[in-house]
Chain A
């Protein structure tokens, strides 16, 4: 047997789902492994299989606390096992393990217990949180660049900012979950279990409410900033490489906001973006002219 064949056989065996009792399937193909005086071939393989599953399940557990609170521990565990069985890691880093969860969940609504849209929104927020935490930050556009501000000016959006249009106020829910997890250590296990049950009930009863969110970071801490629909559209248009003039037109297309109000809103937004350092040179023209 060649190295590649052995590695394919062993990887298949290690990554196959564990049984309900967290054991490797007894009939697993392990004939290529030597038994010893204490363990059979399958038992030796099981050390690796359990280690694999505990590691990847732990990683999802840490990365999606909001989804966990929403579904409850058992349902979250079932979802995680099914997702990882169908979409094992394709990246050298565990950081990216949840990158395909939203896509997978869209075609597997049976794992969200009738709260599909809410669960999808939470997954999108939690993946955005990961990206906002450690995505790149480009040089901030300073006042000298903003002097050129005019309809033909192009600006980019910091790569760490994630813009979301959501059907549920999952930002509030996730903040509640964070707060509850911060309280850990100060309370007894029984009290924590009770609190967790309440939280799951509260989170799952959440009512629909369309919100627009910028998930960003400031001083290395991730924040969720609610933004207006027009601001969301404008930021997306800038990220797509449109000029300021076009981006503003598309942001207020079919909007009932008056021209005066638009001017006031734009002033407020640009001031806030400048303060937060959200604007950077456009992605494809770094070092080039910022105007057409």
Chain B
């Protein structure tokens, strides 16, 4: 399986090189779609463009039955024992493909994984049956000594933290029996004790854990503005063969920092970064997050589908 992914990536890189040399001008988007739609970190599934499943859209989805490539669900919203949340999920699963995205596994917390959390998460994975080909959560911490912040707190980029985080990702994957992708978070603070950059830390964790990446392009943009780094240096360092999924979203700009609020359309610089990412790694399952001041279903879906234009945008820069 690993070999197959490697070959796929080699052929893709060669195709892109040929294109950039002007020898494959017409074939590249088609070639990309064929060559790099999926990898072992997303269960070799080519999912296209999805949106987050949110309560204000339930009525529209059940009444209009819109065509959507896939929905991402927040796992914790459905890790309950019964009632409306699970009944709604079952109805969604009858018609749509679903991928689970978590917010509180806290791979980066120094304390061990919460067994009750894992048990409930596994029950949800089983409920979605073959529905979730991969599962994601964040590269962050949020609990200590059993107390929860319910936030995505930033990691110190140290080798000790990478080792602990990677071990927990492996433990979760072994227990849940589904490929796991870790998502880079937006951050507003950096630590004196860090020993590497964020992208080096991401690489260190995913290599040690042998896991996938949920690459949040908007989060890279937000953090780059908050910490004064070049977002393209980050993007160019991400191991392309490990990217299982991409997130895009909007954010809010304040006087002294940018906050990842998921309450606006995606801004142009983020779309440019998305284009660049697709050129590097090929078309990948992409999801638009919109969590606050949520517009109509059609507006959110239309914003997500803008990604298609960027996926098929002409190549302008060499790798």
Contacts and interface: CB of A to CB of B under 8 A. Distances in A.
Given A32-B192, A33-B190, A37-B228, A160 B104 contact: no
Given A3-B160, A93-B79, A135-B83, A34 B190 contact: yes
Interface stretch (A50-58, A114-122, A171-179, A253-261): A50-58
B117 interface: yes
Contact of A7 (B87, B104, B109, B146): B109
Contacts of A32: 191-193
Interface string B144-163: 11111111010010101100
A44 interface: yes
A132 B189 CA distance: 40
B191 A55 contact: no
Given A2-B160, A90-B148, A7 B141 contact: yes
B72 to A, nearest CB: 18
B149 A160 contact: no
Interface string A3-19: 11011101100110000
A92 B226 CA distance: 28
B82 A135 contact: yes
15 contacts: A3-B161, A8-B145, A10-B153, A31-B192, A33-B191, A39-B257, A44-B188, A56-B150, A89-B147, A92-B105, A92-B114, A93-B79, A133-B83, A134-B85, A136-B81
A4 B84 contact: no
Interface string A42-65: 011101100110011001000000
B256 interface: yes
Contacts of A88: 147-148
A11 B188 contact: no
Interface string A26-43: 000001111011110101
Given A34-B191, A36-B228, A4 B144 contact: yes
Nearest to A44: B189
B191 A14 contact: no
Contacts of B257: 38-39, 47
Contact of B189 (A45, A94, A133): A45
Nearest to B155: A3
B193 A220 contact: no
Interface in A77-117: 88-95
A233 interface: no
Nearest 6 CB-CB pairs, A to B?
A: A136-B81, A134-B83, A4-B110, A220-B84, A134-B80, A47-B188
A97 to B, nearest CB: 8
Contacts of A2: 110, 160
Given A36-B228, A135-B81, A217-B83, A94 B259 contact: no
B161 A47 contact: no
Nearest to A41: B189
B76 interface: yes
B147 A51 contact: no
A159 interface: yes
Contact of B110 (A3, A45, A55, A135): A3
Contacts of B60: none
Nearest to B84: A220
Contact of A51 (B86, B109, B151, B193): B151
Nearest to B85: A134
Contacts of A135: 80-83
A37 B256 CA distance: 9
A133 B227 contact: no
A4 B192 CA distance: 15
Contacts of B86: 134
A6 B80 CA distance: 32
Contact of A55 (B147, B151, B256): B151
A137 interface: yes
Contact of B150 (A7, A39, A89, A220): A89
Given A55-B151, A90-B146, A48 B81 contact: no
A56 to B, nearest CB: 7
Nearest to B165: A3
B164 interface: yes
A1 interface: yes
A285 to B, nearest CB: 19
A44 B151 CA distance: 15
B102 to A, nearest CB: 9
B148 A89 contact: yes
Which one of B189, B190, B256 has the highest number of Cβ atoms from chain A below 10 Å of its Cβ? B189
A14 B82 contact: no
A93 to B, nearest CB: 5
A223 B144 CA distance: 37
B164 A3 contact: yes
Nearest to B145: A8
Interface string B162-179: 001000000000000000
Given A11-B144, A36-B226, A55-B151, 17 more contacts: A3-B160, A6-B191, A11-B153, A33-B192, A37-B228, A39-B257, A44-B189, A47-B257, A48-B153, A48-B188, A51-B151, A90-B146, A91-B148, A92-B105, A92-B143, A135-B83, A217-B83
